[in-house]
């Protein structure tokens, strides 16, 4: 069985990585699909996000990392999977994710969405929370893989460096 785990992953958090590891233990192959959304301005380029996820999942032999744009169901079809993996942190996520799952089923009824709940100690994490903490110099080592923490430090140091005189 093969599953697709789509998302923007800007940046990858330990909550995402937890879902990747747990999802990979349930299927023969897990494809992490990084969305390139032209409507958003990500902190990291698509190439950086692909590199971060690849480095963070190299210990998992059945995980591959790709990029896509457009509909998730189109990507899933292209990858030859009918199973879409999504994570839930809180009840508020459920309403949104259920709507997306129903939309995907309306577009392609052969697809199933499987939800995994985030481990409790990662339930507070979101990419936007991580970026906010990093922006103001807070510790993020317990929120993201090392490669992401290093990239965030570089991003915010360069983005918010005082002008040189």
pLDDT at 75: 97
Which ranges constitute the DSSP H helices of 25-113? 46-56, 72-79, 91-107
pLDDT at 58: 97
Residues assigned a catalytic role: 16, 40, 89, 127
pLDDT at 97: 94
pLDDT average, residue stretch 58-78: 97
Q: Measured on CA atoms in the order 135, 141, 142, 144, is the torsion positive or negative? A: positive
pLDDT at 160 over 50: no
pLDDT at 92: 80
Confirm if 44 and 151 have CB atoms less than 8 A apart: yes
Asked, as a colleague might, if the bond just before 154 is cis with ω within 30 of 0, I would say: no
H-helix or E-strand spanning residue 34: strand 29-35
């Amino acid at each position: 069985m093969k599953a697709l785990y789509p998302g923007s992953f800007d940046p990858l958090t330990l909550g995402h990585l937890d879902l990747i590891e747990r999802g990979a233990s349930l299927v023969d192959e897990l494809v992490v699909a990084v969305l390139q959304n032209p409507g958003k301005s990500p902190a990291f380029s698509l190439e950086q996000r692909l590199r971060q996820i690849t480095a963070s999942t190299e210990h998992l032999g059945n995980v591959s990392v790709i990029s896509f744009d457009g509909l998730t169901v189109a990507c899933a079809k292209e990858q030859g999977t009918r199973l879409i993996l999504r994570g839930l942190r809180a009840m508020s996520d459920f309403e949104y994710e259920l709507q997306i799952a129903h939309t995907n089923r309306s577009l392609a009824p052969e697809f199933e969405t499987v939800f995994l709940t985030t481990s409790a100690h990662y339930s507070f994490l979101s990419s936007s929370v991580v970026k906010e903490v990093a922006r103001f110099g807070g510790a993020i080592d317990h929120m993201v893989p090392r490669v992401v923490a290093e990239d965030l430090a570089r991003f915010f140091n360069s983005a918010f460096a005082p002008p040189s005189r």
